[in-house]
Structure 1
């Protein structure tokens, strides 16, 4: 049996957690629907820990792949540049338009990474980066899971997993996308992004590996 002091302590703990929003004074909430209201009319709520965690994921994924894109397109950070990347793609089994594919991959990583860091058009950015990393997993899976001598796919799988998660969580409160439909209802946009990412992987495989 609990005392009123215990109940009061639990209530204060819940209110201090950052996931509690007090109702306006004089408002009676008799049903769950009264608290929720119309989902489309609700403004996004601030959840400090969740928003910060999603920001970290966006910075890690967007920053990492954005840097890889700069390596591919401009040869920065000791990267190969377009011509060398085109040759590498030829060695990996791509037989058609490897220069075009190099540009597509590099620009996608730069643009998608920048958008993800900003939290702008997050579903599109996450879907684009998911397509890039999923394609990398497809290329490397025959080499085994662990990196070892650099040939395993575990690294690409981790990045793909982050992109996949961000598709369905949305960008969080620390983002440009704060008051957008995909922030308030990320799941439908996540499903659409997943379909587009899968279609992009299939298209790259069949068009550039003929």
Structure 2
């Protein structure tokens, strides 16, 4: 407590150091990152290697062709590798803005091509959850329990989140406009 003034005793304001340990928030970000990362990497393994009853590149390319995409084989590789890399990077908490933007970009395209306005939540509940989780990680960052903890994008997560959001949006629009 400091000296009294006209309004009573003044309290000293103690400011927390930036990026101080916050067990609850950092643990929550770790769980979110690992869950989304493992699931998304699994989707990538299904597409790239055909693991876990996945379609493989050929099967996914056929699916993309049925949705009206051109250059489906190249797009299958890009999508599968993006899912695999983004998932692994999220688990590690490494290059989190890029990884979260990768998830968000893939999910934006999935939602756009799959949405059915006559069904509850457009029948894209899972895609919406992935997108919301990626958006949260994009702007909150990886948390202290990550390999990103000493990087500029960790210290300035919202700024880097915005930049990578623009990149994901641009890639999604190009994919939908040019390749479909």
Same fold (TM over 0.5): yes
Provide the TM-score with structure 1 as the length reference.
0.76
For 1:164 and 1:206, the matched residues in 2 are separated by 23
Which of 11, 16, 26 is the equivalent residue of 1:51? 26
Answer yes or no: is 1:83 the counterpart of 2:58.
yes
> How far has the Cα of 1:145 moved from its partner?
4.8
Q: Is the 8 A contact 1:86 1:102 kept in 2?
A: yes
Structure 2 gap segments, 5+ residues each: 1-10
Provide the rounded CA distance (Å) in 2 between the counterparts of 1:81 and 1:143.
29
The equivalent residue for 2:102 is 128
Distance 1:169 1:74 in 2: 32
User: Which of these residues, 68, 74, 85, is aligned with residue 93 of structure 1?
Assistant: 68
Summarize the alignment of residues 56-67 of structure 1 with structure 2, pairs less than 5 Å apart. Answer: 56-67=31-42
| 2:85 counterpart of 1:115 | no
Counterpart position of 1:137 = 111
Mapped to 2, the partners of 1:76 and 1:51 lie a distance apart of 32
Q: Distance in 2 between matches of 1:145 and 1:167?
A: 29
Q: Give the match for residue 104 of structure 1.
A: 78
Out of 168, 183, 194, the residue aligned to residue 165 of structure 2 is: 194
For residue 142 of structure 1, report the CA deviation from its aligned partner. 2.5
- Distance in structure 2 (CA, Å) of the matches to 1:173 and 1:107: 27
TM-superposed deviation, 1:44: 2.7
Kindly provide the CA deviation profile for residues 47-69 of structure 1, in whole angstroms up to 9, marking residues without a partner as x: 11111100111011111110000
Larger radius of gyration: 1
Aligned-CA RMSD value = 1.9
* CA drift at 1:143: 5.9
Question: Is the contact made by 1:127 and 1:196 (CA closer than 8 Å) also made in structure 2?
Answer: yes
Structure 1, unpaired ranges of 5+: 1-28, 37-41
Count of matched residue positions in the alignment of Structure 1 and Structure 2: 170
Q: Is the 8 A contact 1:72 1:85 kept in 2?
A: yes
TM-score by structure 2 length? Answer: 0.88
Q: Which residue of 2 aligns with 1:5?
A: none
3-state SS, counterpart of residue 158 of structure 2: helix
CA deviations 1:164-203 (Å, max 9, x no partner) are: 1101100001100011122122111111111111001101
SS of 2:98's equivalent in the other structure is helix
Change (3 A) 1:192 1:165: same
